[in-house]
Amino acid sequence: MSPSAPDSAPEAGHAAGPQGRLGTLALGALGVVFGDIGTSPLYALKESFVGHHPLAVDAAHIFGVLSLIFWTMTLIVTAKYVFIVMRADNEGEGGSMALLALIGRSLGETRWTPLIAMLGVIATALFYGDAIITPAISVLSAVEGLTVVEASLGELVLPIAIVILLGLFLIQKHGTERVGTFFGPVMAVYFVVLAVLGVINIVAHPEIVGILNPYWAWHFFALDPRLAFLALGSVVLAVTGAEALYADMGHFGRKAISIAWLYAALPCLMLNYMGQGALLLDQPEAASNPFFLLAPEWARLPLVILATLATIIASQAVISGAFSITRQAVQLGFLPRLRILHTSPTAEGQVYVPIVNWTLLILVVLLVLSFRSSSSLAAAYGIAVTGTMVITACMLGVLTFSVWRWPPLLAGGVTGLFLLIDGAYFLSNATKIPDGGWFPLLVAGVVFVMLTTWSTGRRILRRSLAVGAIDLDLFIKSTAQSVRRVAGTAVFLSSTREGVPPALLHNVKHNKVLHERVIVLTVVTNAVPHLPEDARMTIAQHGSGFFRMTLRHGFLEDVDIPASLKAVTSCGAPIGKMDTSYFLSRQTLIPSEKPGMAIWREKLFAWMIRNAATPMEFFNLPTNRVVELGSQVEI
């Protein structure tokens, strides 16, 4: 069991804040944040005309789809995320977990707290489904451009895509700091190429600019309401990755991301989409792959190479996001301790989680081998994205009503508008569940069960341990003078801030000895990304050499217990590394019929505890100074 416990108490935090010049940050954001949404032109428009619900390739449908794409980008990405959601920063950080922590810290415990927490957990679970599909569909759609260069190369598409994906996941352990320096420039070139290809084709049909008029979106629905509704499932592919604007806010800052979107990504994307539309007006048969057919024949192979690089960057961003959100889930108490490695000596946020990396690799490769084409994968794509958008809209309603306290009419109108739009896209994608949409839902369901089982199990375990807990002061009176005291310091890690930890009880019972200085230490995760040094440690002296300490940290920070204790000066002599022993409690769980969770979930929780990473690495404890004492607990 992890001694770490989430804490929603409002503590003074500080925004780590991205450092650097605005232009450099905006270029970096262009490379990392917009990789996913930037590669959507490879498949979004194509799927509207050759996907599971194909449309006639005529002017009415071309104008209608493109108008929907433009207004979807305007309302969802620009209005919802850039202008509103990104204002909800948790000490500079964004993302579903940060938003959940922000709301929890602002509202405290209310009757809505469990529901809000559940929404945040569902959004996190859906992200993992998206993290599997994004590398698969992005890389596959880029490599499929080879068939436009030479039809006979079709047999090489799957092997090449799998080799690229294998290489991508194999390099994760080395970190992305060096490769990341190329992300911005490569994506800048890619976006410029998008714009140039679009403009070249728009010149032949300048009337395509008329898609900016919402009349064409309305006309599309008036022309064929059923097909227009089903087309939303393909149109939303144009905004996959919108959540990344919010999730990566802590790395680049709201202003840099906003500038990169409004002045670079959005114009380039729309020019390319309009260029594809202009091409289809002249060549309806180009609907099979309008993105690559935009380019003249001599430029198609270089375009395939550039698009492949862009999709690798897009995949890298979502893989890094999976590592980051896993780390947050561990710190906030939704996952057991996992082995988390830092890949950069300077960038705190760059982490590598081996179990997540290899699980993603296996599932991505299986997905590519099963679906075999980007068109088939498009049916699986979208349901997780739109589900997350709906949840974000719900949480936005909580923010506007209860945290920001907007006027009820304004808050209700904004929330209702986004729920209507996001809900329509979600329902449209729900029609694709039998064709592949079941996959991200299955992944999200498995992740959801694991997140909630761990969180609930820890709560039940703490409750079970508290039943027989002894008050610390009573323990000191009854044992401090009756057992032998030896030199040195003993630190007993405790999951709660009350009572005597099991390891201390077992040590006295079996070893019949106490150290001269005994510290009962609880590590608490606060609902802010970072905490200032002066807010981290609280110390209570209980006499007879006993101290109870609480070490707090933000959910984006790692814990180094020896370093934190070394800085303590208010409990006698300095706490030296070589004369301090660390005692950990290790519980062996016995599933029972006691009220709590279903037996199968109790067995899952017990398995998760057995396979959790050692606290020695997680808390940076010296391995030769740790003693583990076990006990059996019924849950």
Q: What is the 3-state secondary structure (H, E, C) of 250-311?
A: HHHCHHHHHHHHHHHHHHHHHHHHHHHHHHHHHCHHHHHCHHHHCCCHHHHHHHHHHHHHHH
**CB distance 382 to 432 below 8 Å:** yes
Q: What is the pLDDT of residue 369?
A: 92
pLDDT (mean) for 529-543: 85
What is the 3-class SS of 514-548, one letter each residue? EEEEEEEEEEEEECCCCCCHHHCEEEEEEECCEEE
| Reported confidence tier of residue 464, pLDDT bands at 50, 70, 90 | confident
Q: Which helix or strand (DSSP H or E) is residue 26 part of?
A: helix 22-32
- 470-634: CATH number: 3.40.50
pLDDT (mean) for 334-356: 77
CA distance 68 to 64: 6
Q: What is the pLDDT of residue 267?
A: 96
pLDDT (mean) for 385-391: 89
In the chain, which segments carry CATH 1.20.1740.10?
Answer: 41-455
Range name among 165-174, 435-444, 593-602 with the lowest pLDDT average: 593-602
CA distance 241 to 44: 13
- In percent, the amount of the chain with pLDDT more than 70 equals 92
| CATH architecture of residue range(s) 41-455 | Up-down Bundle (1.20)
pLDDT (mean) for 417-434: 92
Name the CA radius of gyration of the chain, rounded: 27
| Reported confidence tier of residue 5, pLDDT bands at 50, 70, 90 | very low
Range name among 161-165, 195-199, 475-479 with the lowest pLDDT average: 475-479
| Reported confidence tier of residue 10, pLDDT bands at 50, 70, 90 | very low
CA distance 491 to 238: 54
Q: What is the pLDDT of residue 57?
A: 92
pLDDT above 80 for 284: yes
The full DSSP string for 547-572 is EEEEEEEETT----HHHHHHT--SSS
CA distance 488 to 575: 9
pLDDT (mean) for 489-509: 87
pLDDT above 60 for 2: no
552 phi, psi to nearest 5 deg = -100, 150
In the chain, which segments carry CATH 3.40.50?
Answer: 470-634
What pTM was computed for the model? 0.82
Q: What is the DSSP letter of 343?
A: -
Q: Which helix or strand (DSSP H or E) is residue 180 part of?
A: helix 177-202
Cα 442 versus chain centre, distance: 17
**CB distance 52 to 432 below 8 Å:** yes
Range name among 88-92, 190-194, 561-565, 588-592 with the lowest pLDDT average: 588-592
The runs of H, that is alpha helices, within 210-261 are 215-223, 225-235, 243-247, 249-252, 254-260
Compute the 3-state secondary structure of the chain and give helix, strand, coil in percent, each to the nearest 5: 65, 10, 25
Q: What is the pLDDT of residue 12?
A: 39
- In percent, the amount of the chain with pLDDT more than 90 equals 37
| Reported confidence tier of residue 106, pLDDT bands at 50, 70, 90 | confident
CA distance 87 to 567: 36
